[in-house]
Structure 1
Amino acid sequence: MNRRSFLTTTAATATLAATGGFTFARAQTQAVKVAFVGTLSGPGAALGTHLRDGWLAGVKRLDNQLGGRAVETLVIDDELKPDVAVSKVRAALERDKVDFVVGVVFSNMLQAIVRPVTESNTFLITANAGPSTLAGKGCSPFLFSSAYQNDQPHATMGQAAQDLGYKRVFILVPNYQAGKDAVAGFRSRYKGEVVDEIYVPLSQLDFSTEVTKIAAAKPDAIFTFMPGALGVNLVRQYRQAGLANIPFLSTFTVDESTLPAQGEAALDFYTAATWAPNFDNPQSRRFVQEFEAAYGYVPSNFAAHAYDAAHMLDAAIRRTKGDVADKAALRTALEAGDFPSVRGALRLGANHFPIQDFWLCKVAKRADGKFQTETLRKVLSADADGYATSCKMG
Structure 2
Amino acid sequence: MMNLITKALGMSLAFGLTAAPALAQEKLKVGLLLTLSGPSAVLGQQARDGFQLAMKDLGGRLGGRDVEVIVVDDELKPDVAVTKVKGLLERDKVDFVVGPIFSNVAVAVHKPIVDAQTFYISTNAGPSILAGKSCNPYFFATSYQNDQNHEVLGKVAQDRGYKKVYLLAPNYQAGKDALAGFKRHYKGEIVEESYVPLNTLDFQSELAKIASLQPDAIFTFMPGGMGVNLVKQYRAAGLADRIPFLSAFTVDESTLPAQQDAAIGMLGGSNWAPNLDTPLNKKFVAAYEAAYNSVPGSYSMHAYDAALLIDSALKATGGKMDNKDAVRAAIKKAEFKSLRGDFKFGANGFPIQDFYLVKAAKRADGKFQTEIVEKVFDDYTDAYAKECAATN
Q: Distance in 2 between matches of 1:27 and 1:125?
A: 29
Amino acid of the structure 1 residue aligned with 2:322: A
- Contact kept in structure 1, 2:167 and 2:220, CA below 8 Å: yes
Runs ≥4 in structure 1, deviation > 3 angstroms?
A: 25-28
Q: Of residues 184, 197, 202 in structure 2, which corresponds to 1:201?
A: 197
Q: Distance in 2 between matches of 1:73 and 1:177?
A: 28
Alignment of 1:1-394 (within 5 A): 29-245=25-241, 246-394=243-391
Amino acid of the structure 2 residue aligned with 1:268: G
Give the drift of 1:339: 1.3
- Contact kept in structure 2, 1:28 and 1:322, CA below 8 Å: no
Q: Distance in 1 between matches of 2:24 and 2:322?
A: 10
Q: Distance in 2 between matches of 1:227 and 1:269?
A: 14
Q: Distance in 1 between matches of 2:161 and 2:134?
A: 36
Give the drift of 1:27: 7.4
Q: Secondary structure at the match of 2:98?
A: strand
Name the Cα RMSD after superposition.
1.1
Q: Distance in 1 between matches of 2:31 and 2:382?
A: 27
Instruction: Give CA deviations for 1:169-212 in whole Å, capped at 9, x if unaligned.
Output: 11010000000000110000011111111000002100000011
Amino acid of the structure 2 residue aligned with 1:230: M
Q: Distance in 2 between matches of 1:274 and 1:27?
A: 43
How many residue pairs get matched?
370
Instruction: Give CA deviations for 1:51-104 in whole Å, capped at 9, x if unaligned.
Output: 111111111111111111111110010011111111111011111111110010
Structure 2: give runs of 5+ residues left out of the alignment: 1-20
Q: Secondary structure at the match of 2:32?
A: strand
Q: Distance in 2 between matches of 1:266 and 1:27?
A: 56
Instruction: Give CA deviations for 1:122-156 in whole Å, capped at 9, x if unaligned.
Output: 00000000000000011111000000000100111
- Contact kept in structure 2, 1:272 and 1:358, CA below 8 Å: yes
TM-score with structure 1 setting the length: 0.92
Q: Distance in 1 between matches of 2:237 and 2:333?
A: 49
Give the drift of 1:380: 0.6
Question: CA, structure 1 residues 27+346, in 2 after alignment: closer, same or farther (shift >3 Å)?
Answer: farther
Q: Distance in 1 between matches of 2:376 and 2:247?
A: 14
Q: Percent identity?
A: 56
Task: Specify the structure having the higher radius of gyration (Cα).
Answer: 2
Q: Secondary structure at the match of 1:373?
A: strand
Amino acid of the structure 1 residue aligned with 2:308: H
Residue 4 (structure 1) aligns with: none
- Contact kept in structure 1, 2:46 and 2:296, CA below 8 Å: yes
- Contact kept in structure 1, 2:342 and 2:379, CA below 8 Å: no
Q: Distance in 1 between matches of 2:342 and 2:230?
A: 34
Amino acid of the structure 2 residue aligned with 1:240: A
Give the drift of 1:30: 1.7
Q: Distance in 1 between matches of 2:158 and 2:119?
A: 38
Q: Secondary structure at the match of 1:173?
A: strand
Q: Secondary structure at the match of 1:265?
A: helix
Give the drift of 1:168: 1.0
Give the drift of 1:307: 0.7
Instruction: Give CA deviations for 1:328-351 in whole Å, capped at 9, x if unaligned.
Output: 000000000121101102110000
Question: CA, structure 1 residues 250+26, in 2 after alignment: closer, same or farther (shift >3 Å)?
Answer: farther
Q: Distance in 1 between matches of 2:194 and 2:87?
A: 38
Instruction: Give CA deviations for 1:2-58 in whole Å, capped at 9, x if unaligned.
Output: xxxxxxxxxxxxxxxxxxxxxxx9677221100000000011101111111111111
Amino acid of the structure 2 residue aligned with 1:63: G
Structure 1: give runs of 5+ residues left out of the alignment: 1-24
Q: Distance in 2 between matches of 1:26 and 1:232?
A: 54
Q: Secondary structure at the match of 1:180?
A: helix
Residue 16 (structure 1) aligns with: none
- Contact kept in structure 1, 2:360 and 2:368, CA below 8 Å: yes
TM-score with structure 2 setting the length: 0.93
